[in-house]
Chains A and B, each alone.
Chain A
Amino acid sequence: KMAAATMSPYFGQQMSSKNDLVPAWTSQEVSTGTTIMALEYDGGVVIGADSRTTTGAYIANRVTDKLTPIHDRIFCCRSGSAADTQAIADVVTYQLGFHSIELDEPPLVETAANLFRASCYRYREELTAGILVAGWDRRKGGQVYCVPIGGMLVRQPVSVGGSGSSYIYGFMDSNYKPNMTKDQCLELTAAAVSLAMERDGSSGGVVRLASISKDGVERRVILGNQLPKYSTH
């Protein structure tokens, strides 16, 4: 399934087109083959993503927003099938909103993460969704939870996801240090996502960043010409 959505070789896509007058991508599933990232810092979290959505070789949306709000201080980063992740995010937003009203309190990030996990695990055969849940709550501060394909749940101080993430594991392992400040986290996220965008064909466009803390959510965008430049390209 993953193969159908994002990883099929180019030649395979051409062969499966039934009609030569119509390009192959018109019959391909929309995918957010992507690069997403989330880091915890003392007091909140920083999340980042690229902005490319593809249907096969066509970029359906080059300014996608993959950082989706689930609640006031909880976001999710989506990778995998665009349809699947949007549907799951909508369901969780509803469930979490309801739960929060019942509790009469802002919900916990761990609750949101568990709701994602419940859907992703129950329907793991049908879904292709890799999600990072990040946010701030009063009990545990900034938290990042990773819900990859298959529906596992694990909390990590830093997590990367999507097809572009493979290229930046080395960079993240060497550059991440515990107890970074918010600005250091933003810089690291921007650098890592742009490195991945340069190497992964399914990632590109602009870098979207957000930081979430008890004071709220701050969003920013780094455009193509403002991205850091490297000597190898």
Chain B
Amino acid sequence: MEKRSVDSRVRGVSTGTTILAATFDGGVVIGSDSRASIGGEYVSSKTINKVVQVHDQIFCCMAGSLADAQAVTKAAKFHLSFHSVQMETPPLVIAAASVLQELCYNNKEELQAGFITAGWDRKKGPQVYVVPLGGMLVGQPVTIGGSGSTYIYGYVDAKYKPNMSREECLQFATNALALAMGRDNVSGGVAHLVVITETGVEHVVVPGNKLPKFHNE
């Protein structure tokens, strides 16, 4: 259970994590750190995976209260698989994001959870959607979230380019996570990354000692 602090200016709920997703030419990369902490004083898990698969080619990253996020993704997984059976076709990424949005918006008083949804579908290809605290839904080429994200806004703004190659995007995501983990004390551990393309899904885990090192560390 992470300690939460509400910042009603730009960032939404701060939480002990760093999550991100970015589109590249032909797919998307979604990733997170792996630390769960209690109040910033104790690391309750060094290897938690915050990237959750909600369908074959659609993944979500959770931020906020771990309990709320897990409950919401469980419900979303169910809704999505039901929807997919009814439609007899894999769900669209925006459908997954909308399911999360509905749950977050309708229960906005009780919940403290935000999500980044990324995936690939036949209609629009690779997409990234973000559903922050109040239940808004917005599609963006690249998005970051969690407490560690504040430290990498500048890096992401400067370094992200649309239509990068897969390797460039993977390197960009790994660097961004490493930089955030280097500055945010409640983000850390390993970098979990998932690359989703038309052909399938690939998990990449970068252990702490293999993360890129930057000068000031």
* A binding-site residues for B, Cβ under 8 Å: 7, 9-11, 158, 166-178, 191-192, 195-196, 198-201, 230-233
Chain B contact residues, CB within 8 Å of chain A: 7-10, 141-142, 150-162, 175-176, 179-180, 182-183, 214-217
Q: A11-B8, A174-B179, A176-B216 are in contact. Are A166 and B150 (CB under 8 A)?
A: yes
Q: A9-B8, A166-B151 are in contact. Are A174 and B214 (CB under 8 A)?
A: yes
User: Complex formed: what's the CA distance from A233 to B141 in Å?
Assistant: 11
Known contacts A170-B156, A174-B214, A201-B10; 17 further A-B pairs (Cβ under 8 A) = A9-B8, A166-B150, A166-B151, A167-B150, A167-B154, A170-B154, A171-B158, A172-B216, A173-B179, A178-B215, A195-B158, A196-B154, A198-B157, A199-B157, A230-B158, A232-B141, A232-B142
- Given A10-B8, A166-B150, residue A173 in contact with residue B157 (CB < 8 A): no
- Bound complex: CA A231 to CA B140 (Å): 12
Give the distance to chain B from A72, nearest Cβ to Cβ, in Å: 30
With contacts A167-B151, A169-B151, A170-B151 taken as known, whether A177 is within 8 angstroms of B157 at the C-beta atoms is no
Pick from A178, A200, A233 the residue with the most CB of B within 10 Å: A200
Q: Are A169 and B10 in contact (CB under 8 A)?
A: no
A170 lies within 8 A of B142 (CB): no
Q: Say whether chain B's binding surface is mostly helix, strand, loop, or mixed.
A: helix
List the B residue with the shortest CB-CB distance to A167.
B153
Complex contacts, A168 vs chain B, CB 8 Å: 151, 153-155
Chain B residue numbers with a CB within 8 Å of A167 are 150-154
CB distance from B168 to the nearest CB of A (A): 13
Interface residue from A172, A174, A176, A195 paired with B153 (Cβ < 8 Å): A195
A171–B215 Cα gap in the complex (Å)?
A: 12
20 A-B pairs (CB sep. < 8 Å): A9-B8, A167-B151, A167-B154, A168-B151, A170-B151, A170-B153, A170-B176, A171-B158, A172-B216, A173-B182, A173-B214, A173-B215, A174-B179, A174-B214, A195-B157, A200-B10, A201-B9, A231-B160, A231-B161, A232-B157
Cβ B215 vs Cβ A170 within 8 A: no
Q: Is the CB of B9 within 8 A of A9?
A: yes
Q: Which residue of B lies closest to A176 (CB)?
A: B215
B-side contacts of A200, CB under 8 Å? 10
Asked if B216 and A173 sit within 8 Å, CB to CB, the answer is yes
The 5 closest A-B pairs by CB, nearest first: A171-B154, A170-B152, A168-B154, A170-B179, A170-B155
Nearest CB in chain B to that of A233: its residue: B157
Q: Are A170 and B157 in contact (CB under 8 A)?
A: no
Residue in chain A with minimal CB distance to B152: A170
The answer to whether A199 and B10 touch (CB under 8 A), given A174-B214, A231-B160, A232-B157, is yes
Task: Tell me, rounded to whole Å, the shortest Cβ–Cβ distance linking A154 to chain B.
Answer: 13
The CA of A128 and the CA of B10, in the complex, are separated in Å by 22
Q: How far is the CA of A169 from the CA of B153 in the complex (A)?
A: 9
CA distance A177 to B216 in the complex (A): 9
Residues on B with beta carbons closer than 8 Å to the beta carbon of A174: 155, 159, 175, 179, 214
Q: Which residue of B lies closest to A156 (CB)?
A: B216
Q: How far is the CA of A153 from the CA of B157 in the complex (A)?
A: 31
CB neighbours of B150 from chain A (8 A)? 166-167
- Nearest-neighbor residue (CB-CB) of A193 within chain B: B154
The CA-CA distance from A169 to B183 in the complex, in Å, is 7
A230 touches B157 (CB 8 A): yes
Give Cα A10 to B151, complex, Å. Answer: 23
CB pair A170–B8 under 8 Å, yes or no, is no
